[in-house]
Chains A and B, each alone.
Chain A
Amino acid sequence: MIATLKPDSSHALRGLSDLRIRNLFIIPTIIFLIVFNIFPLIYSLGYSFYDYSAAGSEEPVFVGLQNYRDLLSDPNIWNNFTVTAKYVIISVGGQVLVGFGVALLLNRTLPAKGLITTLLLLPMMMSAAVVGLFWQLLYSPSWGVINYVFGLGDFAWLSDADAALWAVAITDIWMWAPFVMLLSLAGLSAVPKHLYEAASIDRASGWYTFSRITLPLVSPLLLIAIIFRTMEAFKTFDIAFIMSTQPTTEVIAIRLYKFAFQEWQTGKSCALAYIVLIMVVAITNIYVKYLNQVKER
């Protein structure tokens, strides 16, 4: 079979040429995304240099880098960034541990596997606002189930400045671990059985099999899952906003919301958005570089 695999361009040329197919397949998407994103991007960048309120009547005043300077010298903003960093690490870390772990367990012949997988995906099928509301109730020391089940008495998760961030992150892990699980599962099922058989004949240790066979083959899809979860965790809003108003859970998106929609400081919110954008671009870049390395191996 391998012998017949020489590409024969005369057949490929029948119908559309590869070049035209390539353009047809890619260009509409790129143009669509450019058209759709260019106005918001320019608008935000432009107004980030202005003192401007979209809901006000005053003319925008050009202030140069003032918005950026104000933001970066505001200790409250730095608090927001610290909180966000902690949140991203705890929640994405937790999602990967739980999601990948469950995927490893599920990666075998199981009765009713399809049903179990669907059921495990249920948490991420709900809207974040509703999840936040119900978990707030679950954590309540007066009428919540969690303290009852674990015998925690009056412990007030969300009223405790230190525990609140963990409580919120646990909710996020519960909601999004299934996402990591499903992508890991798809990657795991791509690992050929004969590799495992060979490894077991060689009496390779479990760890060796895992780190040399399983992980490399799963990592491209797992990394895509991590990239998207990190991006989303950085922008996270609903769950944290609904569950707690502690300063220790005020992630950057909440601050952005206050600037943009409560105070209508449009210029300042645009500047903060660009700071966030630059950070997310930088972090994602590292991931993507790593992803490309993994793929080349």
Chain B
Amino acid sequence: MAAVRSNAQKIGHRLAIAAVIAITIVMLSPIYWIASTAFKPRSLATTVPPTVVFSPEVTPFIKLFTKRVQLQKKPDQATYDEAPWWEKKIYDAGERVLKVAGGPQMSAYPSRFLNSLIIAVTSTFLAVAMGTITAYGFSRFKIAGEADLLFFILSTRMLPPVVVAIPMFLMYRVVGLVDTHIGLIILYTAFNLSFSVWLMKGFMDEIPKEYEEAALVDGYTRIEAFFKIVLPEAATGIAATAVFCFITAWNEYAFALMMTNKEAQTAPPFIPAQLGSGITDWTAIAAGTLLFLLPVSIFTFLLRNHLLRGVTFGAIRK
């Protein structure tokens, strides 16, 4: 009897693995295609059937990091010969790199990328930290009008951003936060906070109260119990919340556009512009997308074990 069941289970398990592999391939194929486009010469980007075997190019990345214009006249042979290898690649692609004070002019990508990192990391930390303690408060203590307060927190994310953008911009001008890192950090923290509170409360509710109460009996203070008992148990929730908040802040577009002029511009509005204004260039935009995907995927990968641990603790003990 047991053997039969385990045989059926084995088959089921294998089928499930096959399904997982199939789904992963389907879900990832657009990403593979973007990633491979980032290394293609422009002429191979839109072939049907898609080109799978090709010799990889770094030209898309050179394009991404330099400011370029259409070549109107071919450079004379001497200029071409003197040019460094990467500039030759741009000449070959029918463009020239703009010069400033003799050197090549960099595109805004590196500085925007850095701004994105600063803003997304800081705002994620703040949103997760505030969300965690607030969720703990809501989960453990009696609060008058708890449901209404929670709904208020949720509702702060319901107004469409296009409408909030104008009053927010006017408000930011008054307090001098337009085009500052702090301005965007505060904005993204507020934006993510409602999500962070709600998700963390979902996880906090799953952790049995009995554990920290036992700790209180053992002589811990409430704060100690929170840090030493509750937080480790909430690791999955914190990891998931952090991943989601980071993704949201990392990719935010509308406010990044409206609230910045120069200093604090982030990368998302820059990447689609790589499509070009004369000839469609999918390779540079793919390169920008691929690089921009790295930090957030690494962040997620590092947290993967926390993400998967689940909320098993509470469940087993119940």
> CB distance B272 to A130 under 8 Å?
yes
Closest to B223 in A: A15
Minimum C-beta distance from A104 to chain B (A): 8
B149 at the interface (CB under 8 A from A): yes
**Contact segment of A4-12, A63-71, A85-93, A160-168:** A4-12
Minimum C-beta distance from A154 to chain B (A): 12
Within 8 A of A (CB), among B289-315: 289, 292-293, 296-297, 300-301, 304-305, 307-312, 314-315
> CB distance B167 to A29 under 8 Å?
no
A257 to B198, CA, bound (A): 28
A115-B301, A277-B159 known; A8 vs B30 contact (CB < 8 Å): no
Candidate in A102, A145, A227, A256 with the most chain B CB atoms within 10 angstroms: A145
- Chain A residues within 8 Å of B50, by CB: 145, 148
> CB distance B271 to A130 under 8 Å?
yes
> CB distance A124 to B247 under 8 Å?
yes
Minimum C-beta distance from B318 to chain A (A): 7
A238 to B254, CA, bound (A): 9
> CB distance B171 to A40 under 8 Å?
yes
> CB distance A26 to B137 under 8 Å?
yes
> CB distance B289 to A119 under 8 Å?
no
**Contact segment of B13-21, B53-61, B85-93, B97-105:** B13-21
Q: Which secondary structure dominates where chain B touches chain A? A: helix
- Chain B residues within 8 Å of A221, by CB: 202-203
> CB distance A189 to B217 under 8 Å?
no
B130 at the interface (CB under 8 A from A): yes
CB-contact partner of A122 in B28, B131, B213, B244, under 8 A: B28
> CB distance A231 to B24 under 8 Å?
no
- Chain B residues within 8 Å of A292, by CB: 147
A29 to B154, CA, bound (A): 12
CB-contact partner of A190 in B156, B297, B314, under 8 A: B314
Minimum C-beta distance from A141 to chain B (A): 9
Within 8 A of B (CB), among A116-132: 116-130
A25 to B136, CA, bound (A): 8
> CB distance A29 to B130 under 8 Å?
yes
> CB distance A127 to B271 under 8 Å?
yes
Total CB contacts across the A-B interface at under 8 A: 298
> CB distance B160 to A253 under 8 Å?
yes
A179 to B219, CA, bound (A): 40
> CB distance A25 to B137 under 8 Å?
yes
> CB distance B20 to A105 under 8 Å?
yes
A15-B221, A33-B190, A185-B308 known; A135 vs B30 contact (CB < 8 Å): yes
Closest to A266 in B: B166
A221 to B236, CA, bound (A): 13
> CB distance A257 to B130 under 8 Å?
no
Count of interface residues, chain B, beta-carbon cutoff 8 Å: 113
CB-contact partner of B213 in A5, A227, A237, A281, under 8 A: A5
> CB distance B130 to A8 under 8 Å?
no
> CB distance B304 to A117 under 8 Å?
yes
> CB distance A192 to B159 under 8 Å?
no
CB-contact partner of B47 in A143, A257, A260, A270, under 8 A: A143
Additional 13 contacts, C-beta under 8 A, given A190-B206, A190-B314, A224-B202 = A21-B222, A25-B133, A33-B190, A37-B156, A114-B305, A121-B300, A130-B271, A130-B285, A130-B289, A134-B289, A191-B315, A273-B159, A292-B147
Cβ contacts A to B, 30 pairs, < 8 Å: A4-B217, A8-B217, A11-B217, A14-B221, A22-B143, A28-B130, A29-B131, A29-B197, A37-B159, A39-B171, A44-B159, A114-B305, A117-B304, A120-B23, A120-B27, A126-B251, A127-B268, A174-B30, A186-B203, A187-B311, A217-B315, A224-B199, A224-B202, A237-B162, A256-B160, A256-B163, A269-B163, A273-B163, A277-B158, A285-B151
Give me the 6 closest cross-chain CB pairs, A-B, nearest first: A189-B310, A15-B221, A114-B304, A25-B137, A273-B163, A143-B46
B residues engaging A (CB < 8 A)?
5, 13, 16-17, 19-20, 23-24, 27-28, 30-31, 33-34, 46-50, 130-131, 133-134, 136-138, 140-141, 143, 147, 149, 151-168, 170-171, 186, 190, 193-195, 197-199, 202-203, 205-206, 210, 213-214, 216-224, 226, 236-237, 240, 243-244, 247, 250-251, 253-254, 268-269, 271-272, 275, 282, 285-286, 289, 292-293, 296-297, 300-301, 304-305, 307-312, 314-316, 318
